Amino acid sequence: MSVDQVSSAWVPLAAALLLAVAAAAAALDGALAARSLGHHPASGLLTPVAETARLFRQRRRSTLAADVPLWRIGGAGLLTAALLMVVVVPLGRWTVADLAVGVVWFNAMDVLLWAAVWLAGWGPNSAHALVGGFRFLAQALAYELPLMFALTTPAVAAQSLRLGDLVAAQEGLWFVVWMPVAFVVFCGAVLAFSVWGPFAAATGSTTAGGVLAETSGVDRWLVTAGRYALLTAGAAFGATAFLGGGQGPLLPAWLWTLLKTAALLAVLVALRRRLPVLRPERLVAPAWLVVLPLTLLQLLVVSVVVVVRG
Amino acid sequence: MLSGIVFWVLAVIAVATGVAVFRVDSMARATYALAASFIAVGLTLLLFDLQFLGVITVLMMVMEMAVMAIYMIMFMGMNPALMPMSMVHGKRPALVVSIGTFVVLAGGALLVDWPTRRGAPAADLVTSLGEAVMESKMLVMMTVSPVLFATIVAALVLALPRSRYDRMGADLRGRDLDRGAGR
């Protein structure tokens, strides 16, 4: 299956699609929240709409000696990074940017979050927010290296950094079957760079909301929407790099991509209420002493298979 | 035409943010102005079809600046990161050196008799670049990088006033004071 680059006129539609799927993820989270409170799940489906209406009407909170430009850049950075991530992810047979280094592009865009989340914590000149920003960087040190090697694994198997080649190389057998460790590490890293679930300490209640402590109104909406968009972009990339992308019987390729993305995204969203939040300062040791060697072993296995098969 | 416009926009951003590094009065702004400047340079590389180099420049530089911001705020004694300060030191020597460097580089670029291209570019630029950069120097790189890494770790251990040796004793077998009572 080949992937064609579409005209750049489709870019707004791709952005709208990302936001629509992210909104669906937010609705799912609302439903799960309602269920955990004992209400009917359907009553929570409109939570994102209600939250959007509330936040758009809310006034901005201002703090003393805030670094407003950096604060705004940081807050808007999450959604921007998510939008930039998906430009290389093919939707079935179409892609917005058919980069020869698509995997590296995705990686570079997730590194932008190092800057964005820290700036969102730095900007308001508030202790809690700054602690949140540092918590994120501590967590980033833990997840980034395993993520990089997890991203390397499918690229080695396909012998290409182009996402279209990754999809083509999974014809017959999805990568997740013979590189499960890389897939799990990748999913964990998506949770971590989205500041989600077990990796949400940077916005945790123990620091009065961390980077979100002083963020209100439309800025808070941007950060929240950005986190859902990041989860979505991560799920879309994971579905493409590990779950075969548009490969599948009967249905058209674009629908397979969407279905796989939605399934992975639903799992990532649901994990939020299943796992406890981890303390970032305890993360680096297990990440570097356990997860990183496991990821490297996985990479070794895949490399040997690739060499032996010729 | 379009790539010309993109080049000039990126060039202006790179220079303007580069100037901003020395004009702003806060460490965070200086750090991220420098990051923005590097991003513009990295994206300029994409115009040369050096996709890997361009994207990896963005990746490395943003990460580097994020780490640099932490180090500055952690280790600077009077903590200029948290209060406004001038970003310029030794103005006159710096001006002389930078103007001199610019004149030499720009003059060189204009005056050197550039050779004409021999042969054609390789089909797979990334592979041939990797071989050109690493092939004969692989052993050196593999030796140097652990040494560099050990240096960084050692410097950190020395610079941290209260590290794990302080918390757990010289042999690291003591009770970790950071974990609080009961652990």
- Span B120-173, pLDDT tens digits: 877 877 778 788 888 888 888 888 988 998 998 888 878 776 666 777 777 777
Asked whether the beta carbons of residue A119 and residue B32 sit closer than 8 angstroms, the reply is yes
* Amino acid letter, residue A64: L
A292 chain-B contacts, CB cut-off 8 A: none
Inter-CA distances, B68 with A59, B44, B65, B80, Å: 34, 24, 5, 14
Interface of A with B (CB under 8 A): 67, 69-70, 73, 99-101, 104-105, 107-108, 111-112, 114-115, 118-119, 122, 134, 137, 140, 144, 161, 281
Q: What is the pLDDT along chain A (310 residues), one digit of tens a residue?
A: 678 888 888 889 999 999 999 999 999 999 999 999 998 888 889 999 999 999 999 988 888 888 889 999 999 999 999 999 999 999 988 888 888 899 999 999 999 999 999 999 998 888 899 899 999 999 999 999 999 999 999 999 999 999 999 999 998 899 999 999 999 999 999 999 999 989 998 887 888 888 888 898 899 999 999 999 999 999 999 999 999 888 888 889 899 999 999 999 999 999 998 899 998 888 888 998 999 999 999 999 999 999 998 7
B80 has a pLDDT exceeding 60: no
* Residues of chain A found within 8 Å of residue B63, distances taken between Cβ atoms: 111, 114, 144
- Under DSSP, the state recorded for A60 is P
In this complex, do B66 and A115 lie within 8 Å of one another by their Cβ atoms?
yes
Residue B183 has pLDDT above 70, yes or no: no
Q: Predicted ipTM?
A: 0.86
Nearest Cα of chain A lies from the Cα of B143 at a distance, in angstroms, of 20
| Predicted pLDDT at A151 | 95
- Residue A152, CA distances (Å) to A126, A129, A164, A182, A300 in order: 38, 34, 15, 9, 11
pLDDT of residue B180: 53
Amino acid B84: pLDDT: 67
Residue type, A167: V
Check A119 against B55: CB less than 8 A apart: no
Is the Cα dihedral B77, B34, A64, A219 positive or negative?
A: negative
Is B70–A137 a contact, with Cβ atoms under 8 angstroms apart? yes
pLDDT value, residue B35: 94
Q: What's the whole-number mean pLDDT along residues B81-106?
A: 84
Nearest to A104 among B26, B55, B67 (CB): B55
Chain position carrying tokens 């004969």: B136
Q: Identify the band that residue B182 occupies on the pLDDT scale cut at 50, 70 and 90.
A: very low
B59 vs A73, A104, A281: nearest CB = A104
Report DSSP state, residue A279: P
Per the model's pLDDT, the better-predicted residue between B50 and A136 turns out to be A136
Task: Report the gap between the CA of B133 and the closest CA in chain A (Å).
Answer: 18
* A-B contacts (CB, under 8 Å): 56
Distances (CA, A) of A25 to A20, A64, A194: 9, 35, 13
pLDDT tens figures, B56-69: 999 999 999 988 88
pLDDT of residue B129: 79
Which residue among A99, A101, A114 sits closest to B63, beta carbon to beta carbon? A114
Distance CA A71, CA A121 (A): 7
State the Cα–Cα distance between residues A269 and A189, nearest whole angstrom: 14
Where do the domains of chain A lie?
4-309
> Any idea which residue has 């969203």 for tokens?
A269
Higher pLDDT residue, B50 or A182? A182
**Helix (H) or strand (E) run with residue A5 in it:** strand A4-5
Please tell me which of the candidates B55, B56, B66 has its beta carbon nearest to residue A118: B66
